Amino acid sequence: MRYKNILLHLFFIGTIISSNPKVALVLSGGAAKGYAHIPVLEMIDSLNIDVDLIVGTSIGANVGALYSVGYTSNQIYEHAFKTNWKAIFLEKSERKNMSYFHKKNNSRYQIKFNLNGFKPKIPTGAIHGQRAYMELSEILGQYEYINDFDNLAIPFKCNATDLISGEDILLEDGSLIMAIRSSVSIPSVFAPVDYDEYLLVDGGVKNNIPVNLAKKYNPDIIITSTVASKPTKKQIKSSVVGVLEESIFIHSSDLTKSNLENSDYVISTKIPEGTSAIFTKKSMNSIYRAGKKAVYDNIDMFLDIQKQFKSDKPKKSLKTLDELNLKVTNINIYGNKKFDKNFIQNGLGIYRSDTLKLNKIHNGINNLYGLGYFNKISYKIKPNENLTSSDIDILIEESSFNKLQTGLKWDNFHELIAAINIRTNDLFFPGLLINNEFQFPGIRKNSLEITYPGRFSVFHLYPFLKNEYLSKKINWYNANGEKTAIYNYKTIKNKIGAGVIIGKNCGIEVALQNERAYLNPEIENNDVIDYDNLETNSTILNIDYDSRDDALLTKNGTLIKLDFENSTYNHDKFQMINFDFDIYKTVLKNTIRFNTIYRSIGYGAPIHNYIYQGKIDRTVGYAPFSLNSNKLYMAGVEWIYHYKEMHYKIFYNQIFDLENEQESSYIRENQSCYGLGVTFTSPFGPIELIWGYGPIKHLTNDKRHTVFSIDVGYKF
């Protein structure tokens, strides 16, 4: 019996030794500096060095995971430079994936807070990390069915830091995407990852060069690539990421020193002075070149490794998720509180017996996330042993329906305008959504909207009740183009109706409206019209189509607004039609925009309906409020050239028809306006500077002038 136990013991030890990796590659963290690891992989590929284990942290985990599933060093390089890092760090979702309601609210405010009751709730990170998760899924999702990281093309491990225990957590099985998402979760930038019993942040917080984790597997040699070189004060101060990176890694210096001493070979990349750790192409190119230099400075070391561990055998190839054609057995949904499972599954669009494809998963998640109801959505694939079928788990975190949103903008019409919006849900009964927005001081506008969008249904049919109060000053012009009055203008509108959403781009509303209007001149004048509490009742149809890729800096898409009103005022009836059309098309760095405005207001309508400022980007060059009219038809074309963060444009607009019945005026000839502009981005939104050259008087082209306009901020 004792003899058998000894044999069994020796067999067990022999099994462990035979499975020990010969070459372990350790990749450190370091934000964008981690792309200095790519030249290390290039050299390993070119010398056919056989790597048996990869251990990475933070950005090193990202690079290492790609290499472990079979990406070449060249493919990793291409991925690094084509990734939209700005969108990741701004948590910027693609607008095409947003629901109609989400689109309308998404680009209106600079600052957003969840509310706990009526108090702002401070988030655990600047962003939830959904865009980062989906980027990882795009490149790693085809291998998400592999739940044991030892079964990847190259066995892989990574680490993250548990905020609860403060321990360094080794991640070697489960969801590969979520493991990488945890390891790269920079504190204060990304919200911590709820992973099993842990609450995980960046692995570099505790262990930025995880050689000690690699040593647990008893490799023959450990090659360590580190980019955690000592930065200069200028480098640290160059970005928020740089400050956070150094502050979270600074206390792990003793472990870092020990890990470097326990490495057999170390490639330490010295980042050039003036190069920051942020993810810009300029910085990443500089980092890549620095990594290349470090590799060739250590070429003798690589040649020495090649002598010992060169292998001509082909690398292990993995089947992709799409190639397996797994049949869905069960869809399990976790984390839902307000939304029932049928709503989520219908939004996801994946059902039992479906064939599991990565694109189908992404489309479903983007569709759900685009509703604006969720902070995070992730998935787990749990295949059977034969890889013929699989369960899929959907893990969600619902967003707060109670939000405080604020914004600022500046325009030439009203100068500074601030907006504060409060959105509440379930205040009186489940499903009731209340929005109230107040704008000041350039104008006074309060918009209250109460809707019941039927969130437990996939059909977007909703009743609504709306109230709008608007107060502002306007200029009035006579037939000679002379300003004759400054009005204090006020309206109070109440609407009740219903709307329907068609797809993600189109909304239609039908409503009954009661309006009370006040039009009072600042200086009493018997020659101008004024009135108080003038009542108009209307039946309204609004059609809105919006397929733009970006509401602030559009490159492709269409925006169409069509409004019909049948109104009764003082027993007289009149009709109003407003049509606004914009289409954008971009080829390479050039965008062409065509726009049209058509307004027709029936004779006898109260003159406050004639008031029309137009949009600044179409009317610069014309005097403000000179387009007040009951009939207006104008169109324009615009060419925009995009260069880095700057956008240069040339535009031409023309008025074909303008009529003001009240002043018995109409244009005698087509009136043109043209000019140029430049737009650049800022934390407050786009800043647009426009110079327009147009007629001084709105009814004639005899004299012209140059008008400068500035438009800053979001478009609420």
- For residue 412, pLDDT beyond 70: no
Mean pLDDT of 442-448: 93
- For residue 251, pLDDT beyond 70: no
Residues 350, 282 share a domain: no
Mean pLDDT of 450-474: 80
Residues 213, 142 share a domain: yes
Structure tokens at 716: 């609420």
- For residue 249, pLDDT beyond 60: no
Say which residue the tokens 């690891």 belong to.
37
What pLDDT, on the 0 to 100 scale, is given for residue 122?
62
- Which strand (E) or helix (H) includes residue 581? strand 572-587
Beta bridge partners of 508: 500, 543
Residue 611 CA to residue 604 CA, distance in Å, equals 15
Quick one: CA dihedral 316, 321, 327, 332, positive or negative? positive
Number of domains in the chain: 3
Residues 456, 524 share a domain: yes
The segment with the largest mean pLDDT, out of 3-12, 19-28, 202-211, 707-716, is 202-211
Contact between residue 194 and residue 94 where contact means Cβ atoms under 8 Å apart: no
CATH number, domain with residue 197:
3.40.1090.10
Mean pLDDT of 307-319: 88
**Which CA distances in Å does 432 have to 120, 337, 402, 405, 450?**
21, 16, 12, 19, 7
3-class SS shares of the chain: helix, strand, coil, % to 5: 25, 40, 30
How many alpha carbons lie under 13 Å from residue 713 in its C-beta half-sphere? Answer: 18
Residues 243, 159 share a domain: yes
Contact between residue 533 and residue 500 where contact means Cβ atoms under 8 Å apart: no
Q: Look at residues 480, 499, 481 and name the one whose alpha carbon lies nearest to residue 540.
A: 499
Structural domain includes residue 103: no
pTM across the whole model: 0.80
Residue 530 CA to residue 613 CA, distance in Å, equals 20
Beta bridge partners of 687: 680, 712
Quick one: CA dihedral 64, 65, 66, 70, positive or negative? positive
By CB atoms closer than 10 A (0-12, 13-18, 19+), residue 635 is middle
**Which CA distances in Å does 417 have to 503, 560, 573, 689?**
33, 25, 36, 18
Tens digit of each residue's pLDDT (9 = 90 or more) over 44-73? 999 999 999 999 999 999 999 999 999 999
Structural domain includes residue 1: no
The segment with the largest mean pLDDT, out of 102-111, 271-280, 339-348, is 339-348
- For residue 2, pLDDT beyond 50: no
Ranking 8-17, 113-122, 130-139 by mean pLDDT, the lowest is 8-17
Structural domain includes residue 490: yes
What pLDDT, on the 0 to 100 scale, is given for residue 484?
83
String of DSSP letters for 176-237: HHHHHHHHT--TEEEPPEEETTEEEE-GGGT-SS-HHHHHTT--SEEEEEE--PPPPHHHHH
Structural domain includes residue 160: yes
Residue 538 CA to residue 557 CA, distance in Å, equals 32
Ranking 175-189, 298-312, 474-488 by mean pLDDT, the lowest is 474-488
Structure tokens at 5: 């136990």
What pLDDT, on the 0 to 100 scale, is given for residue 231?
52
**Which tops the pLDDT comparison, 601 or 478?**
601
**Which CA distances in Å does 685 have to 107, 118, 552, 676?**
9, 27, 8, 20
What pLDDT, on the 0 to 100 scale, is given for residue 7?
39
What pLDDT, on the 0 to 100 scale, is given for residue 372?
79
CATH number, domain with residue 705:
2.40.160.50
Residues 682, 573 share a domain: yes
What pLDDT, on the 0 to 100 scale, is given for residue 390?
97
In total, the chain counts a number of residues equal to 716
Contact between residue 217 and residue 51 where contact means Cβ atoms under 8 Å apart: no
Q: Look at residues 237, 317, 297 and name the one whose alpha carbon lies nearest to residue 72.
A: 317
Residue 190 CA to residue 241 CA, distance in Å, equals 11
Structure tokens at 16: 């462990």
Residues 415, 354 share a domain: no
Ranking 277-286, 321-330, 704-713 by mean pLDDT, the lowest is 277-286
Q: Given pLDDT bands bounded at 50, 70 and 90, which one contains residue 289?
A: very high
Say which residue the tokens 């057999």 belong to.
264
Residue 638's CB is within 10 A of a number of other CB atoms, namely 19
Q: For the chain, give the mean pLDDT.
A: 86
Q: Given pLDDT bands bounded at 50, 70 and 90, which one contains residue 5?
A: very low
Q: Look at residues 240, 86, 80, 136 and name the one whose alpha carbon lies nearest to residue 553.
A: 86
The segment with the largest mean pLDDT, out of 111-125, 168-182, 512-526, is 168-182
Residues 678, 602 share a domain: yes
Structural domain includes residue 606: yes
Contact between residue 694 and residue 681 where contact means Cβ atoms under 8 Å apart: no
**Which CA distances in Å does 284 have to 31, 132, 483?**
10, 18, 57
Residues 374, 299 share a domain: no
Ranking 123-132, 288-297, 557-566 by mean pLDDT, the lowest is 123-132
Contact between residue 112 and residue 102 where contact means Cβ atoms under 8 Å apart: no
Residue 691's CB is within 10 A of a number of other CB atoms, namely 15
CA-based R_g, the chain, Å: 31
The residue type found at 392 is I
How many alpha carbons lie under 13 Å from residue 449 in its C-beta half-sphere? Answer: 19
DSSP code of residue 513:
E
What pLDDT, on the 0 to 100 scale, is given for residue 79?
92
Structural domain includes residue 207: yes
Q: Which of 366, 398, 430 is the last residue of a domain?
A: 398
Ranking 318-322, 400-404, 458-462, 473-477 by mean pLDDT, the lowest is 458-462
Structure tokens at 477: 């012009």
Rounded to a whole number, what is the largest CA-CA distance in the chain? 119
What pLDDT, on the 0 to 100 scale, is given for residue 19?
54
What pLDDT, on the 0 to 100 scale, is given for residue 250?
52
Residues 439, 367 share a domain: no
pLDDT over 70 for what percent of the chain?
Answer: 88
Q: Which of 309, 329, 346 is the last residue of a domain?
A: 309
What pLDDT, on the 0 to 100 scale, is given for residue 524?
72
What pLDDT, on the 0 to 100 scale, is given for residue 21?
76
Contact between residue 549 and residue 555 where contact means Cβ atoms under 8 Å apart: yes
Residue 587 CA to residue 613 CA, distance in Å, equals 32
Residues 333, 284 share a domain: no
Residue 353 CA to residue 361 CA, distance in Å, equals 14
Structural domain includes residue 325: yes
Ranking 84-93, 142-151, 582-591 by mean pLDDT, the lowest is 84-93
Tens digit of each residue's pLDDT (9 = 90 or more) over 361-383? 999 998 888 887 888 999 999 99
Q: Given pLDDT bands bounded at 50, 70 and 90, which one contains residue 102?
A: confident
Q: Given pLDDT bands bounded at 50, 70 and 90, which one contains residue 99?
A: confident
- Give CA 184 to chain center in angstroms: 19
Residue 577: give the domain boundaries: 401-713
Residue 713 CA to residue 427 CA, distance in Å, equals 31
Residue 78 CA to residue 65 CA, distance in Å, equals 15
Tens digit of each residue's pLDDT (9 = 90 or more) over 68-89? 999 999 999 999 888 887 777 7
Q: Give the contacts of 105 (CB within 8 A, at least 6 positions apart).
A: 372, 405
Residue 636 CA to residue 707 CA, distance in Å, equals 17
Q: Look at residues 158, 178, 181 and name the one whose alpha carbon lies nearest to residue 55.
A: 158
What pLDDT, on the 0 to 100 scale, is given for residue 13?
37
Residue 695's CB is within 10 A of a number of other CB atoms, namely 23
Mean pLDDT of 614-620: 81
Angle at 142 between CA 52 and CA 75, to 5 degrees: 65
Residues 644, 508 share a domain: yes
Residues 368, 297 share a domain: no
What pLDDT, on the 0 to 100 scale, is given for residue 9?
43
CATH number, domain with residue 341:
3.10.20.310
Angle at 691 between CA 689 and CA 696, to 5 degrees: 140
- For residue 139, pLDDT beyond 90: yes
Mean pLDDT of 627-634: 90
Contact between residue 590 and residue 624 where contact means Cβ atoms under 8 Å apart: no
Structural domain includes residue 15: no
Q: Which of 351, 382, 398 is the last residue of a domain?
A: 398
Residue 668: strand, helix, or coil = coil
Residue 685: strand, helix, or coil = coil
